[in-house]
Structure 1
C-alpha cells in the first residue's frame, strides 16, 4: 500500500497567512478541485460540527472519490477561545463536549479528529506539570468518548513559538503513550519538527507506532523548496517503514490556492510517492 495524499482545505474566507492551501465557499467546491488534481483526500477545518450535515459531507466526499484525512479543530480555539486547558473549567468542559461532536462527525466520515492549537496555552505562572495535569484530564474525558464510538483521536506537537510543553516529538509521544490507548494517535508535522527535533528522521522513527497523519510544510508554512530542510530524508523513513497512511500538504495558499494545491501534490508524488 502506498501513502495517501491529502490537502488541508477550508470552506470560509481566512487570511492568507493561514496554512490551508485549498479554499472554497463550500467543501463541495474544494472536493471538486481536489478530485481534479488527483488527491486521495482532503483535511477539513471544522469549527462547529453543528453547522454541517454529516451525511451530506460524506456524500460529497464519496461523489468525488475522496477520503477525509482528518477533522481539524483549531478554528474553535482561534475564533471562540475554546481550549482543553482553559483556566475556567466550564470552558474546558465545553471544549471537551465540542470534541465529542467533532468525533461524531469524524466517525461518520470514516476519519479522525486532530487536535493541535485546541489544547491551549500555559497561563502566567503555570508550571509544566500543572499544564500537563489539566490537559491529561481533558484528553482522558475526550478519549473515553473516542473509545466508546471507536473513532481515532490524534494529537500533534506544537513548536515552542506556538505551543507549550509538548513541543518535540519525544515529549508529545511520551504524553500520548501514558494513556495506553490504541485510539490516541500522533500527527507529525515537518514545520514543527524543523524547529524542535534536531534529528527529524529519528523523530519520525520514534513516532511510527502512533503516526497516522504526516503534515508536509516548510519553514514559514510554505511549500517545500528543498532549500531549508531535507524532505527526501523524511520520505525515506516513511517508505522504509511501509507507511501507508495520510500525508497532507499544509501551507499558505501562495501564489494562489489552486497553484499551491497543484504544486503541493506534484511534490508529494515526486518525493513521497
Structure 2
C-alpha cells in the first residue's frame, strides 16, 4: 500500500476536504518532506497544469501522482453523467475524458465522485442508473485506451441518491460492459453508510482500486472515532496494494493535518 495526500488547486472550493491548497510546488515539496509516496490532485480543468511540468515536479520530489479528481466538472460547470439533458451528459463525458487524458500522461487514474450526479425530480431511478452505466462504459473504455483504470466513488446519501454503499457499487460494476472501472472506498462516506466497514471492504475485495483516508468527521485519521485497526486488517486481507489517500479537512491546519495523516498511515499500514 502507498501513502498519498491531496492537493486542491481550485480557489473557489476552499471549504472542501483537501489537505494542501493552492500551491502545487509547495504542496509537493511538503508531501515529499514528510515521506508520502504520492499526491492526489484536484484541478479546475485538464489544462490547469502542464503535464510536463507535473512530470518534472514528480521526478524532483520522487512522488507519484496517485489520482486526479473530476469534481470541478460539477462544482464549477454543473455537469453530471445523469443530467436529464443529453447535451449536458455529453459535456460531462467530454470533461472527464479530458481529465482521464491528463491523468494518463502521469500514470494517474481519474476519479468520478460528484460528477455521477443524482436521480432528479421527474426522472425514474432506472433511467438515471442507465445513464450512469452508459457514461461509465464509455469512460471506462476510454481510460483503458489511455492505459489507466477509471475510479468510481460511492458517496453518502447526503451527496447522492444513486450508489451509497460498496456492495451496491460492486453490483453496478458487474452490470458494466467495461472491465476497467474500480471502486473508491472512502472511509468517511463508509462511516455513514456501511454497517461494518471491514466487512464491506472484504466483500468488495479486488473491486477496490483506491482508498480515501479520513476519519468519521472527515478530519485526518485520529481526529474522529473511526476504528482503524479492523479496517487496516481488512485491507491486508484483500491484498490491497493501491493508494491510501488523505481526502480530509486540513484540520487544524494543512501542515498538522498532513503530519497526522502520515503518522496514522505508518501506524496502521507501515
TM-score (ref. length: structure 2): 0.95
- Contact 2:8–2:21, Cα closer than 8 Å, also in 1: yes
Q: Aligned match of 2:139 in 139, 142, 148?
A: 142
Aligned to 2:51: 54
Q: Aligned match of 1:99 in 93, 96, 101?
A: 96
Aligned to 1:258: 255
Aligned to 1:200: 197
Aligned to 1:219: 216
Structure 2 distance, partners of 1:126, 1:202, is 33
Q: Which has the higher contact order (CA 8 A, sep 6+)?
A: 1
Structure 1 unaligned segments of length 5 or more: list them. Answer: none
Mapping of residues 1-273 of structure 1, within 5 Å:
3-14=1-12, 16-25=14-23, 27-225=24-222, 228-273=225-270
129-138 or 179-188: bigger deviation: 179-188
CA deviation profile, 1:45-96 (whole Å, cap 9, x unmatched): 0231022211211111111100111111112211110111112111111111
- Contact 2:84–2:123, Cα closer than 8 Å, also in 1: no
Structure 2 unaligned segments of length 5 or more: list them. Answer: none
CA deviation profile, 1:3-32 (whole Å, cap 9, x unmatched): 10001111243555310012232x222111
Structure 2 distance, partners of 1:20, 1:103, is 20
- Contact 1:16–1:253, Cα closer than 8 Å, also in 2: no
Secondary structure of 1:191's partner?
helix
For residue 212 of structure 1, report the CA deviation from its aligned partner.
1.8
Structure 2 distance, partners of 1:125, 1:270, is 48
Structure 2 distance, partners of 1:239, 1:145, is 31
Secondary structure of 1:39's partner?
coil
TM-score (ref. length: structure 1): 0.94
Structure 2 distance, partners of 1:175, 1:217, is 24
Q: Compared with structure 1, are the counterparts of its residues 147 and 32 closer, same or farther at alpha carbon in structure 2 (3 Å cutoff)?
A: same
For residue 252 of structure 1, report the CA deviation from its aligned partner.
0.7
